Structure 1
Amino acid sequence: MPKVMSPCRVGVQNRNMNNIPNDVDATYEDDVQYSSSEDDSDFEDSDYDLANEDDDLFMDNVDDQVVDQGVAIGRKSFKHEDLINLVFKVGMIFESVELLRKSITEYSLKHRVDIKMPRNEKKRLRAICEKGCPWNLYASDDRRAHGMMIKTFCGEHNCHKKWVLKRCTSNWLADKYLESFRADKKMTLGNFARIVQKEWNLTPARTKLARARRIAMKKVMGDEAEQYKLLWDYVQELRRTNPGSTLYLNLNALAIVEVESLAPWKWFLETLKANLGIKNTYPWTLMTDKQKGLIPACSKVFPEAEHRFYVRHLYNNFQQHFKGENLKIQLWKCARSTTMDQWNRNMDKMRALNQKAYEWLEKMAPNTWLRAFFSTYSKCDILLNNSCEVFNNYILDAREMPILSMLEHIKGQLMSRYYNKEKDVGEVWQGPICPKIRKKV
């Protein structure tokens, strides 16, 4: 007789016994007892039975060396972190076509092969190597995997390595070295080129490196145009967090100007005058350089104030016409003259050194650069404005940033400087007089 598969015992036990006639109850029970006998050679245990000792049937028919190319539940997709050790395989899933493109670019540059994408669509992508090379890859969107899946792949190359790779673009360089530029915002193109050559053995053109640095710095500092859109919100936040501060913002003038001219200088001085509550300008002294528009702006806004020039800027103009260490030393002696007699003697020495240099200085108003002619109302006889010069150099890097990044950078620098100086004053100073003046007194 042919062997008969026994029904599942669990199903028998769960059957509703109320539906079975009374006259067959005994017979049915006998059948159940008979079918449960393990010694009956006419029956063979089912592979679908839940009885014990069936695991051998499963293990004997499973090849653990075969990788299922279908979509497995819980299968891990390819992540950005996997770009470090990139190996393509059939069935590999990418979250997006952009990540797949980026992976192919990394592969191309790492293995120095010229990979092209003749079909590069949103849901389908085919990549091939040069003509005659068997390497190819095809991936398409898989709804079950919710991503791009590699359907076919051949990883064999018979082509030669390339020295110039088109996939080494400025965008790729910017994305690759974004954190490097974030850590070193002053990285020069020369250092950038050396790093790329060392790590990738590539020598991109200087123009490509410059574009890459510009793209990376734009990501680090923020988009300049977008930051201008946030100016109103930024000013409002400063007013909220810094009560008592004076902030001006309008569409026609800014304290941050591209060109120094009469209009912005006049606006700045008027704003400064109003902010300080200055009514009488006579007691005030202004010290400036000779920037375009600054002198007439000072005359209009502070008509009665004393106006002095930095002697350092005066010398910079002087040395363009008259060079030499002796003339430089004599000019500073003239500027430091504290009496009329001393000034006359120093000017005579200047004339002896160079008649034309003497005539050039004579054209300068003496009360703008000579101590002997300074007003005694102001108890300050400095010839330099080192505080402004130091501050200008202090914010030199910030001046190249977009506007909001620049303001935040300067604010952070000033807060750190004020804190450190206040700390120094508390530790070094004894009383209200600074140590240098205390020594002189």
Structure 2
Amino acid sequence: MFNPEVDFKKQVSLMQGLRFPNKYSLKKALIHHAIENRGVNKKVSAEYLAERYLEDWRLDPKLKICLWKKQIKRDLGVDVKYGLCWLARARAKLIIYGNCSDQYGRVWDYVSAVGKFIPGSTAIVVVDNIERPPLFFQRMYICYKLVKEGYLNGCRPIIGPLWLSGFVVVDGNNNIYPVAWAVVEIENRETWCWFLRLLMEDLGMEAGLGITIKSVKQKGIREAFNVVTPKAHIIFYVRHIWANFKVQFPGILFKEAFWKAARASTKAEFKFEMNGIKFLNARAYTYLNEIGASHWSRRAFNTSCKSNMLTNNMCESFNSVLKEVRDKPILTMMEWMRRYVMKRHYEKRQGVNGYTCKLVSYVEKFLKWAMDEANCCDVYASSDDSFEVEYMSK
């Protein structure tokens, strides 16, 4: 380590074997060496850091290594390399979450425990190479009985896929409700078909009859829907359609017309906006017509789903929650999901305990908005079930 208080000539021995053009270059190299290694203690090991800061990682698994390095500097008065911190973090996570290979060897025990302590639940493990051991883990599916009953008794008949993989649904208050999840070797047509068959069997819905599925226009998952749930109503996330549409037809006019057509609630309004798109570009009109209005415009949605959501904010928000657990070992991941769903259900129950209204909060707010808007309308009867409504803007 370079010490400016010691005569400079005594430091030359540190750089033996190296060649420098002059004393100035040598001095510059020594100073650089001192700055780079100032405060570095080679006796600080990854094992020591992992054990010392184990509880810090347990409390905050998302702690950034750069911030952790600064914390180590404050606590110990030494600088540590980024690579050493990375190894220490990996060791701490190994201690906290366990060894991956050990957990894969216990998946059968986990499935047996689910069947024993939560009767009526579905827990399935699929392995490969069963005829010629050792076995290779492929997939794992979980659907708890009480979660399934909660969906059948209190949620809307609409589901959306996640990228864990998993499916979430929408409850009566327009909140996310995870209903089933799985870990698969890869997302493709085969794994989505396997997952959908198990889910439809659990929910008692043959061929997807009576449900609406919100999804992306991804080839593998679309093929799975056609095979397993041909009777389901499919809605594509409009944001994804728009992302592809604007590549071919950019501009503010196309954007405004597209989203007005997507949000249209009547056939006449939808036709008006589509004619505007046709006037701008006939190919754009054909492009949207080929997708089918029932997959992206509110005016053509199946009324049984009782939802007019166009975006995938529901699934995107839950996917952001899952980032915390995606790199964990298999059983740690499954237990995290079980505990997350348990805590979420408890918080939702606590939230409605003091609620006195007969309607859930989302529906109450929506009806209040509708009543305020109705005050701006004049209604003229045409027949027993037909009316003309004139809206007067505020």
TM-score by structure 1 length?
0.57
Give the AA of the match of 1:165.
N
1:408 partnered with 2:335: yes
Answer yes or no: is the 8 Å Cα contact 1:260–1:292 preserved in 2: no
Match of residue 435 from structure 1: 364
1:383 partnered with 2:259: no
Aligned partners of 1:402 and 1:390: how far apart in 2?
23
1:246 partnered with 2:175: no
1:392 partnered with 2:319: yes
Answer yes or no: is the 8 Å Cα contact 2:211–2:305 preserved in 1: yes
Give the AA of the match of 1:191.
L
Match of residue 350 from structure 2: 423
Match of residue 5 from structure 1: none
Aligned counterpart in structure 2 of residue 301 of structure 1, from 228, 250, 256: 228
Give the AA of the match of 2:322.
I
- Within a 5 Å distance, the mapping from 1:80-229 to structure 2 comes to 163-229=39-105
Answer yes or no: is the 8 Å Cα contact 2:50–2:92 preserved in 1: yes
Aligned partners of 2:254 and 2:91: how far apart in 1?
48
Residues 182 and 282 of structure 1: is their aligned pair in 2 closer, same or farther, counting only changes over 3 Å?
closer
- The alpha-carbon deviation at position 239 of structure 1 amounts to 1.7
Answer yes or no: is the 8 Å Cα contact 2:38–2:79 preserved in 1: no
Aligned counterpart in structure 1 of residue 107 of structure 2, from 200, 219, 231: 231
- The alpha-carbon deviation at position 276 of structure 1 amounts to 1.6
Aligned counterpart in structure 2 of residue 334 of structure 1, from 261, 283, 296: 261
1:277 partnered with 2:204: yes
Which whole-Å deviations, capped at 9, do the CAs of 1:94-126 have from their partners, x for residues lacking one?
xxxxxxxxxxxxxxxxxxxxxxxxxxxxxxxxx
Aligned partners of 1:187 and 1:273: how far apart in 2?
40
Q: Report % sequence identity.
A: 32
Aligned partners of 2:63 and 2:247: how far apart in 1?
33
Aligned counterpart in structure 1 of residue 273 of structure 2, from 346, 351, 356: 346
- Within a 5 Å distance, the mapping from 1:41-60 to structure 2 comes to none
- Size of the aligned set, in residue pairs, is 281
Question: Helix, strand or coil: the match of 2:326?
Answer: helix
Aligned partners of 2:366 and 2:268: how far apart in 1?
28
Aligned partners of 2:322 and 2:285: how far apart in 1?
37
Unaligned runs of 5+ in 2: 1-36, 128-137, 141-181, 372-394
Aligned partners of 2:270 and 2:367: how far apart in 1?
30
Question: Helix, strand or coil: the match of 2:348?
Answer: helix
CA RMSD across the alignment: 2.8
Answer yes or no: is the 8 Å Cα contact 1:270–1:301 preserved in 2: yes
Question: Helix, strand or coil: the match of 2:205?
Answer: coil
Bigger drift between 223-232 and 430-439 goes to 430-439
Aligned partners of 2:218 and 2:277: how far apart in 1?
27
Give the AA of the match of 1:179.
E
Answer yes or no: is the 8 Å Cα contact 1:312–1:384 preserved in 2: yes
Aligned partners of 1:438 and 1:206: how far apart in 2?
56
- The alpha-carbon deviation at position 422 of structure 1 amounts to 1.4
Answer yes or no: is the 8 Å Cα contact 1:193–1:204 preserved in 2: yes
Aligned partners of 2:89 and 2:252: how far apart in 1?
42
Question: Helix, strand or coil: the match of 2:234?
Answer: strand
Residues 298 and 166 of structure 1: is their aligned pair in 2 closer, same or farther, counting only changes over 3 Å?
same
Which whole-Å deviations, capped at 9, do the CAs of 1:240-263 have from their partners, x for residues lacking one?
221221221221433212421111
Match of residue 287 from structure 1: 214
Question: Helix, strand or coil: the match of 2:288?
Answer: helix
Question: Helix, strand or coil: the match of 1:286?
Answer: strand
Question: Helix, strand or coil: the match of 1:210?
Answer: helix
Answer yes or no: is the 8 Å Cα contact 2:264–2:297 preserved in 1: yes
Aligned partners of 1:319 and 1:167: how far apart in 2?
58
- Within a 5 Å distance, the mapping from 1:18-97 to structure 2 comes to none
Which whole-Å deviations, capped at 9, do the CAs of 1:10-64 have from their partners, x for residues lacking one?
xxxxxxxxxxxxxxxxxxxxxxxxxxxxxxxxxxxxxxxxxxxxxxxxxxxxxxx
Answer yes or no: is the 8 Å Cα contact 1:260–1:291 preserved in 2: no
- The alpha-carbon deviation at position 211 of structure 1 amounts to 1.6
Match of residue 266 from structure 1: 193
- The alpha-carbon deviation at position 171 of structure 1 amounts to 2.5
Aligned partners of 2:258 and 2:38: how far apart in 1?
64
Give the AA of the match of 1:371.
R
Bigger relative CO (Cα 8 Å, ≥ 6 apart): 2
Aligned partners of 1:214 and 1:320: how far apart in 2?
42
Aligned partners of 1:324 and 1:335: how far apart in 2?
17
Unaligned runs of 5+ in 1: 1-160
Aligned partners of 1:282 and 1:220: how far apart in 2?
44
Which whole-Å deviations, capped at 9, do the CAs of 1:107-155 have from their partners, x for residues lacking one?
xxxxxxxxxxxxxxxxxxxxxxxxxxxxxxxxxxxxxxxxxxxxxxxxx
- The alpha-carbon deviation at position 410 of structure 1 amounts to 1.9
Residues 183 and 374 of structure 1: is their aligned pair in 2 closer, same or farther, counting only changes over 3 Å?
closer
Match of residue 145 from structure 2: none
- The alpha-carbon deviation at position 182 of structure 1 amounts to 1.4
Higher strand residue share: 2
Question: Helix, strand or coil: the match of 1:308?
Answer: strand
Which whole-Å deviations, capped at 9, do the CAs of 1:212-245 have from their partners, x for residues lacking one?
2111112112212211112111121122221221
- The alpha-carbon deviation at position 432 of structure 1 amounts to 5.2
Residues 187 and 320 of structure 1: is their aligned pair in 2 closer, same or farther, counting only changes over 3 Å?
farther
